[in-house]
Structures are given as structure tokens and as C-alpha cells.
Structure 1
Amino acid sequence: MSTTTVPLRVAGFSWQVRLRGVAVTLGGLALLILLMALNMRIGDLPMSLADVLRGTFDAADPGHFVVMDLRLPRALTGALVGAALALSGAIIQSIARNPLASPEILGVTTGASVTVVAGVVLSGSVHGGVSGLMPTLGIPALALLGGLLGAMIVYGLAWRRGLDGYRLVLVGIGVAAVFTNVKYWLLTVGDVNDTGQAMTWISGSLNGRGWEHVQPVALALVVLVPLTLLGTRSLNALRFNDDTVTALGVRMNLSRALMVLGAVLLAAVATASAGPVAFVALAAPQIALRLIRCAQPPLLSSAIVGAVLTAGADLIARTLFSPIELPVGVVTAVLGAPYLIYLLIRIRRGRT
């Protein structure tokens, strides 16, 4: 089944679809729905699945407010953020030809963290704008601005008559290290109460998410998922060396730039909605790749795996130390660190 493919043609475009990939995607969707339903059951007011369904579709039901205004936005934000991060990671890993690449190396998450912490230190409140500097910008807008700025810096420094994947990774690591140190310096000079609140966001948190957090990520996915899927052919070619890519007739620099831009936008919007949720963008594409057994991370399946990972991590974060809720980023970091070690060992063994 791992090698069985069928052709898919839509509006003049054609793809070879792996049946194993379809099975993994459908299975992931079923698991995601189950995890989201469990997330909506759990809380200060326990609800059965029947109560959740009634609260979702019946506006007169007493549980309607709990489901539609409190729990469903959080569950949807988690799933969409996980999907966006995983899709971004899959694109970056394919372009960099490196399973350890992720949006962090593009400066997206670290850039967002710096601007948010700077906003907190300058304004004195994590819930307000930046007093006297950017009064109309809130935390999500600051995070989006910082993510895009960080990516532009990394991209500009890595560009040398084209974009090389390994140079991009090295420059990204260096810039991320600088951003991280600036972030911690800002935390040390800020007020302890405000920086404590900022640390919750920096850890990646879904607490208090509302529909205003769902909409930007949903819109980004609606626009960018079809565009990235249309770019799958170019992405498949980019996994070869530059000479081979040029011989295949692919406009290498333009294709890389457009795909990197899509990855940056996905990661920036996701980070703006939930903070820098660690390791999802790194682990989800590699898990999807191993489930489907293909040459490079599959885009759509990676997005589904990312949504499942985030929804599952949020469920653990809410129940493990109940009634205390952990930031979802803490759980993904704890689960992702061993996987990172596994990837490093696997890569080292492959080289030796």
C-alpha cells in the first residue's frame, strides 16, 4: 500500500496521490475530532459528548455559552495553530533539505517573542498596546510584526545570489540566538508582574483563546493551503541539488522565495494567535513522513498531524495537573525534546 498511487487531476493540474497518505490523513482527521470533543467535555463544568453536541447546535441550551464562547474557540485555535505550524515546518524542511529545520530558524517565533516582550516592557501591561509607541497594536499584532521582521532579517542575511538551504539554517540559528538573548535581557529589565504574564505567552498558551484568535489562522490556512499545494511540484524538485533543479526547468530562486514566504506567514499568524508553541513544526512533518513513507514531508498530512499533536498536548495540559492548567507549549516541549534527540541520533548514524 505504501507504493500505490492514483492520479488526481483538477483544473489542468495533476498529482499522484498515495493511498497510504489518504488513509493517514483520514485517520488523523478522525483522531483530531475525537481529541477536540474530549477537550470540550473537560472543564469546571463537566459535560458529556451529548451535552457538547446540544450546546453546539442548540442556542437555547444552557451549555451553549460554555461550548461556543469558551471551549470551542480554544479547541479550534489549538488545531489550526498546530496545522499552520506543521505545514510551515514541512515547507522549510523540504527547502532546507534538513529534518531539523523549523520556523524557529527563520526567526519567526524568536522575532515574535522579542517584539511581544518589548511591548510588555514599554507598555507595562500584557493586555494593552505599547504606550506612546504603537498605541493601536495589541499582542497578536506585535507578534505578527515581529515574526515577519525576524524572517526578513534571516532571509536578507542568508541571500547570496540565491537562497541556499544550509546557509539559511546557519544564519537562522545565529539570528535566533541573538533574538533569544535580547528577549531574556528585556525580561530582566521589565517589571516582574508584567514579565511573568509575558512568560506565559512565550511558553505557548491556549488559555483564554476566543474567536478573534481563530479567525486569522483559519483565514491564513484557507488562502495558503491551496497555494502551497499548487507549489508541491516545485517543492518536490527543490529537494535535489541546485544543478538538478535548474535542469528540471524550475525557477529555483523564485520558487524558494515564494514557498519560504508562505511558510513564514503561516508560522507568524500561528505564533500571533497562541505564542511560540515549541516542536510542533519540527516533529509533525517527520512523523507524517514516516507514517506515509515518502521522500519528503507531505504537506497536507503534516498539517493534520500537527493539529492532532497540538490538540493532544492541550488535553494533557488541561488534565495532567488539574485544576492547574499548563501552557500547551510546555507539554509540546517536553514531548518534543526526546524526539529531537532521536532525530539527532538517527542523522548521526546515517552519516556514519
Structure 2
Amino acid sequence: MTNTTVALIMAGRRQRRRRWMLITGFLAFLSLMLCCAMLMLGNTIYPVTDVVRALLGEKIKGVSFAVETIRLPRMLAGLFAGFAFGIAGATFQTMLRNPLANPNVLGITSGSSVAAVFCIVILHTSEAIVSISSVIAGLATVALIYVLSRRKTYSTGRLILIGIGIEAMLGAVITYLLMKSAQSDVPAAYRWLAGSLNGAQMEELPPLIISVVVLAPLVIALSKQLSLLELGEQSATTLGVHTDRTRVLLIASTVCMIALATSVTGPIAFVAFLAGPIAKRLVGVGFSTVIPAGLIGVILVLASDLIGQFAFETRFPVGVITGILGAPYLIYLLIRMSRKGEF
């Protein structure tokens, strides 16, 4: 290899690194602006100075209650849940080498949803019990899917097919529970299933925040091994990746974040599905898309929540808006994959 070739390779790598840093920096800035908008906008628009003073503990009539009790928990729920969904979606799509692979399709969020609906419409438990049950059920679902797909050798296709089957089965269970429940309980269950930041409370956020703060860095640290897993089982093993251990760590970390995020916001549609492909298109090849995908998840959740609150006469939950955005992309992706003969 000549010096000229080495120089060209290094120059290309530096260019890709600059692109990654610029895109990631812009996404972080946009996320910050949306966080500020979530705190400022509502039935009453407050100036930045009043919002900052309220956050610093100063008591301002009207502002302190609105910001600390309503808008701050809503913003934090969207911020951390969006980041968790974005990272998880990119991780699953890369690890399974399939753009259709995401926690929603694989039945992970459906497991949490079954437990939440059961607690809401059958047991009539408190929100705390609903959250705990949805987390446990989400983790149990992914453990079941992994065990069923794990035979003598690991198979991505087997895991995806089993996940889709589990998702369909759990969807039927949710429908059955809603049909058998009292009519007065159905609206609360549907609000949860739609995915919403309404009613987010500071008391329920610490587990989600801690999980993202602790587990997201672990997923980011494993991003190099994750990129190698995309090459296939044999190639990754040849390059020194402990595939089983890496896969278990990635699945356990992301599923824990997803389950806790779902317990707070409900299963917000298409965020995990959209974040990875968008990040890949923006960042390009050569560097991990985990952090950009997490930031895109934040942007999708916060922007969709603002659109749902203020763009229409009727206020819509965030999951309705993300569903409207995600459905056309899913159709486009299916058509493109069909044309490429990937089905």
C-alpha cells in the first residue's frame, strides 16, 4: 500500500468523522431547542427568563406550577424515552441486519402493553404497579423470544420470525382484554396504548432516567462490536468479537431501557423504527449511529408531542403523530426492499 493510498484513506476517515461530529452536534442542538420549547409553550407562553427562574427554584405565580409540575416532567419523559427508543431501534436493526427489526415488531413492547392493559382494566391497580408490571413483562417477553430462537446456533431470521409471532399473539391478548373489560376502563387503556406524555409525573421518572444514564453508555461502548456483528456471526467471531456475550449485553441493556420507557409513556409507535434509518442516512458509513439515533428519537418524540398539542384543534397523543409519520416510511421501505429482492 503506497503512501498516497494511506493518505487518501486517512483523509476519507477524517471527513467521515467531521460529518459525524457535525450531524451529532446539530441533532443535540435541535434536541435542546425542542426541550426549551416544551418548557415555554402551553396554554400560556412563558419567556425563557421566567422558565429559568422557575427551574432555579424561584416561586413565580403561575409559572412555577406549570413548569415544575406539568411541563418539566413531560419534557423529561419525552427526552429520556425518545433517547431510549432511538438507541434501542438502531441497536436491534444493526444487530439483526434488518431495517424492519425493532422492539415493536419483535413483540417486546407488546409484552409490556399486555401487562399494563391487564393491570388497568382487570386489576385496577395504581400507576406504580402498572409501570412495574410492564417492565417485568417486557423483560420476560424478550427472554422468551431469545430462548425460543436460541438452538445449537444463533439465527437472526429465527429470532425475527418468533418475535413477530409473539407480537401477533400478544396483540390478540390485548384485544381480548379490551373486549372483556368494563366500558369505563377502556379509555384509560387506549390512552396508554396510544403512547402519550400526558400526565407524566416526576415520581415515576427516576428509574427511566437512571437506566438511560447507566445503560446507554454501555451500549455506546459496545457500538464497535455492534458494527462487527452486522458483518455476520462468522465474520464477527473471526474478528475477535464474543458474539453471544456481546449480543446478550446489548439485548439486556436496550430492552431494560425500552421496558422502562414504555412503562412511563406507553408504546410510542415507530420511534424505534424510524430513528436508526434516519441516523444512517444522515451520518453515513464508517461510524456508529447509536448516539445520532438516540438524538433523533428525542427529536421525533418532542416534535411530535408539540405538533399533537398545537397543530390541530383537537390535541392528539404523541403516539398518534409518530404513527402518521412512520406508516408512510414503512410502506416506502417495504417497496424498496421488495424491488431489491430482499423478501
Provide the residue aligned with 1:12 in structure 2. none
CA contact (8 A) 1:113 1:202 kept: yes
Partner of 1:9: none
Question: Pick from 289, 299, 323: which aligns with 1:333?
Answer: 323
In 2: Cα distance, 1:43 partner to 1:31 partner:
19
Residue by residue over 1:264-299, the C-alpha shift from the partner in whole angstroms, topping out at 9 and shown as x without a partner, is: 112111111100001000001110000011268610
Percent of pairs identical after alignment? 34
Which consecutive unaligned segments of at least 5 residues does structure 2 have? Answer: 1-10
**Residue 29 of structure 1: how far off its partner (Å):** 1.3
1:219, distance to aligned residue in structure 2 (A): 0.6
1:288–1:297 CA contact under 8 A, matched in 2: no
Distance 1:195 1:293 in 2: 44
Q: 5+ unaligned residues in a row in structure 1: which ranges?
A: 7-15, 130-136
Structure 1's 280 and 81: CA in aligned 2 closer, same or farther, altered over 3 A?
same
Match of 1:174 in 2: 165
Q: Quote the Cα distance in structure 1 between the aligned partners of 2:116 and 2:57.
A: 39
- Separation in structure 2 between the aligned mates of residue 143 and residue 277 of structure 1, nearest angstrom: 14
**Residue aligning to 2:67:** 67
**1: CA distance between counterparts of 2:97 and 2:264?**
28
Residue 341 (structure 2) aligns with: 351
Decide whether the 8 Å contact of 2:16 with 2:286 is kept in 1. no
The answer as to 2:270 corresponding to 1:271 is no
SS in 2 for 1:307: helix
Between Structure 1 and Structure 2, which shows a larger proportion of helix residues? Answer: 2
Deviation, structure 1 residue 338: 0.7
For 1:105 and 1:35, the matched residues in 2 are separated by 28
> Within 2, Cα distance between the matches of 1:181 and 1:189?
12
Aligned to 2:39: 40
Name the structure 1 match of 2:83.
83
Residues 306/67 of structure 1: CA separation in 2 closer, same or farther (3 Å cut): same
Structure 1 residue 218: Cα displacement: 1.3
Cα deviation for residue 44 of structure 1 reads 2.5
Which residue does the alignment assign to 1:158? 149
Amino acid across the alignment from 2:52? L
Aligned to 1:31: 30
Superposed, 1:113-262 pairs within 5 Å as 113-123=113-123, 125=124, 128=126, 138-262=129-253
Question: 1:77–1:213: 8 Å Cα contact kept in structure 2?
Answer: no
Give secondary structure in 1 for the equivalent of 2:185.
helix
CA RMSD of aligned residues (A): 2.1
Distance 1:71 1:98 in 2: 37
CA distance in 1: counterparts of 2:107 and 2:203, whole angstroms: 25
Equivalent residue for 1:318, pick from 304, 309, 318: 309
TM-score scaled to structure 1, two decimals? 0.89
Distance in 2, matches of 1:288 and 1:300, equals 9
- Counterpart amino acid of 1:238? L
Per the normalisation by structure 2, the TM-score is: 0.91
Shift of 1:213: 3.2
Deviates most, 39-48 or 262-271:
39-48
Q: CA deviation at 1:254?
A: 1.9
2:103 aligns to what? Answer: 103
Deviation at 1:88, TM superposition (A): 0.6
Structure 1 stretch displaced more, 293-302 or 340-349: 293-302
Instruction: Judge which range, 47-56 or 82-91, deviates more.
Output: 47-56
Measured against aligned partners, the alpha-carbon deviations of 1:316-343 in whole angstroms (never above 9, x if no partner) come to 1111234x42111111011110111121
Note the alpha carbon deviations across 1:227-266, whole angstroms, 9 max, x for none: 1122122111111122212211222222212211112112
Preserved CA contact (<8 Å) 1:289 1:296: no
Deviation at 1:46, TM superposition (A): 2.6
Decide which moves more: 291-300 or 178-187: 291-300
SS at match of 1:104: coil
2:40 and 2:46 in contact (8 A); partners too: yes
CA contact (8 A) 2:20 2:287 kept: no
Assess if the C-alpha contact under 8 Å between 2:227 and 2:288 holds in 1.
no
**2:54·2:64 contact (CA, 8 Å) conserved in 1?**
yes
Secondary structure at 1:176 match in 2? helix
Q: For 2:60, give the aligned amino acid.
A: D
Q: Secondary structure at the match of 1:240?
A: coil
* Residue of structure 2 equivalent to 1:289: 280
Q: State the AA in 1 paired with 2:152.
A: R
Moved more, 219-228 or 154-163: 154-163
Partner Cα separation in structure 1 for residue 198 and residue 263 of structure 2: 14
